[in-house]
């Protein structure tokens, strides 16, 4: 009868809708799963590289008889650097994982952002001075904001560290702080090597490095900007990059003065 047909039609439409939604969800899950698999593959690779070097170094030293002390010291120096590198990767990974886990539970409280920035710059001053890089802090107004001080510090530390790392000897780093009635703005500008146009959209990805061999020399893990972006996004903020190859780079961070849960 009429009712049966109606019921049939309706069930059919519903089944089709459910199956479409299901397929859509599967697609999303697959993307999530792919990126997770890629992440795990990347982590394994990054962690294994220093281990492989350490093993080669240790084995080749063991294979020699009567090793001259200079050679021994050279090997040990290399070994020590590889261990340091591994340590850095593990620390960055732990920061990143912690950041993901606590996404819902930022430890937000009222913080003096001027003090927070000054502390960061003071800590990084010796690294900059060693390469004759001038670090300048300019505050357009005192800023107090509801932030997770630890996570925000981690983000800004990574930006300033990069501004020094990817700079030229004798260059400059300019950090500024400003605010309006809704947001505060932190800018980290440098006179460094700059970022190629085609890399700009990738630099916030985990493990991405513009020039692997060069970055390796400088001691990067490719995680710093992923950590920085995570921290900023958790604050409902935004991070952007402007760069001119060979001239310098500017990162801008915009975060609400009052935390939006
Ligand atoms: P890394 O540990 O390699 O520094 P990041 O995630 O912090 O990793 O940065 C990713 C890549 O972006 C770096 O390897 C570098 O190539 C590029 N980059 C980041 N900051 C700057 C900068 N201020 N100037 C030039 N290049 C930069």
- Residues whose CB falls within 8 Å of the CB of residue 205, separated by 6 or more in sequence, listed in order: 226
Q: Output the pTM of the full model.
A: 0.79
Could you give the CA distance from residue 226 to residue 141 in angstroms, rounded to a whole number? 29
**Confidence check: pLDDT of 58 > 70:** yes
pLDDT tens-digit map of 230-259:
999 999 999 999 999 999 999 999 999 999
The pLDDT-based confidence of 5 (bands split at 50, 70, 90) is low
48-56 mean pLDDT: 89
Q: Which residue has the tokens 């300048």?
A: 136
222 CA to middle of ligand 1, Å?
7
**Confidence check: pLDDT of 96 > 70:** yes
Give the lowest-confidence range in 4-13, 108-117, 162-171.
4-13
What confidence score (pLDDT) does residue 18 get? 82
Query: Mean pLDDT in the chain?
Result: 88
Hey, whose CA ends up nearest to atom 12 of ligand 1?
Answer: 203
Helix (H), strand (E), coil (C) string for the chain = CHHHHHHHHHHHHHHHHHHHHHHHHHHHHHHHHHHHHHHHHHHHHHHHHHHHHHHHHHHHHHCCCCCCHHHHHHHHHHHHHHHHHHHHHHHHHHHHHHHHHCCCCCCCEEEEHHHHHHHHHHHHHHHHHHCCCEEEEEECCCCEEEECHHHHHHHHHHHHHHHHHCCCCCCEEEEEEEECCCEEEEEEEECCCCCCHHHCCCCCCCCCCCCHHHHHHHCCCCCHHHHHHHHHHHCCCEEEEEEECCCEEEEEEEEECCCCC
| Pocket probe mutation, ligand 1, options 202, 207, 209, max atoms within 8 Å of Cβ | 209
Report the share of the chain in percent with pLDDT over 70: 91
| Pocket probe mutation, ligand 1, options 135, 199, 203, max atoms within 8 Å of Cβ | 203
ipTM: 0.99
Hey, whose CA ends up nearest to atom 25 of ligand 1?
Answer: 194
What confidence score (pLDDT) does residue 253 get? 98
What confidence score (pLDDT) does residue 16 get? 84
What confidence score (pLDDT) does residue 184 get? 98
For ligand 1, what atom is nearest to the CA of residue 211? Answer: 16
**Confidence check: pLDDT of 179 > 90:** yes
Taking CB atoms and a 6 Å cutoff, what residues make up the pocket around ligand 1? Answer: 158, 162-163, 166, 190, 192-195, 203, 208-210, 215, 220-226, 249
**Confidence check: pLDDT of 1 > 60:** no
**Confidence check: pLDDT of 11 > 80:** no
Hey, whose CA ends up nearest to atom 8 of ligand 1?
Answer: 222
Q: CA nearest 258: which of 154, 124, 106?
A: 106
181-210 mean pLDDT: 95
Q: CA nearest 159: which of 203, 129, 196?
A: 203
The pLDDT-based confidence of 31 (bands split at 50, 70, 90) is confident
215 CA to middle of ligand 1, Å?
8
**Confidence check: pLDDT of 170 > 60:** yes
Hey, whose CA ends up nearest to atom 19 of ligand 1?
Answer: 162
User: What is the b/e burial string over 114-153, where b = at least 16 CB atoms within 10 angstroms of the residue's CB?
Assistant: eebbeebbeebeeebeeeebebebeeeeebebbbbbebbb
51 CA to middle of ligand 1, Å?
23
What confidence score (pLDDT) does residue 8 get? 65
Give the lowest-confidence range in 31-40, 42-51, 140-149, 150-159.
31-40
Hey, whose CA ends up nearest to atom 11 of ligand 1?
Answer: 209
The pLDDT-based confidence of 141 (bands split at 50, 70, 90) is very high
Hey, whose CA ends up nearest to atom 14 of ligand 1?
Answer: 209
Could you give the CA distance from residue 135 to residue 129 in angstroms, rounded to a whole number? 9
């Amino acid at each position: 009868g009429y009712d049966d047909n109606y019921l049939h039609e309706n069930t059919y439409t519903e089944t089709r809708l459910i199956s479409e939604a299901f397929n859509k969800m599967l697609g999303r899950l697959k993307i999530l799963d792919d990126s997770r698999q890629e992440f795990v593959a990347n982590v394994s690779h990054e962690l294994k590289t220093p281990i492989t070097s350490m093993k080669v170094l240790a084995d080749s030293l063991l294979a020699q008889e009567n090793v001259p002390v200079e050679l021994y010291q050279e090997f040990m120096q290399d070994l020590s650097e590889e261990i340091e590198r591994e340590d850095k990767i593990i620390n960055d990974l732990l920061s990143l994982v912690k950041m993901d886990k606590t996404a819902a539970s930022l430890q937000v409280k009222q913080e003096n952002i001027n003090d927070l920035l000054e502390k960061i710059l003071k800590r990084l001053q010796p690294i900059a001075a060693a390469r004759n890089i001038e670090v300048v802090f300019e505050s357009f107004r005192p800023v107090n904001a509801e932030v997770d001080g630890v996570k925000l510090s981690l983000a800004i530390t990574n930006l300033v560290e990069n501004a020094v790392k990817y700079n030229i000897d004798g260059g400059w780093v300019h950090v500024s702080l400003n605010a309006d009635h809704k947001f505060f703005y932190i800018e980290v500008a440098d006179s460094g090597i700059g970022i190629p146009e085609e890399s700009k959209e990738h630099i916030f990805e985990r493990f991405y490095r513009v020039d692997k061999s060069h970055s390796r020399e400088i001691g990067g893990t490719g995680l710093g900007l992923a950590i920085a972006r995570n921290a900023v996004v958790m604050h409902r903020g935004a991070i952007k990059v402007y760069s001119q190859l060979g001239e310098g780079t500017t990162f801008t961070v915009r975060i609400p003065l009052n935390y939006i849960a």
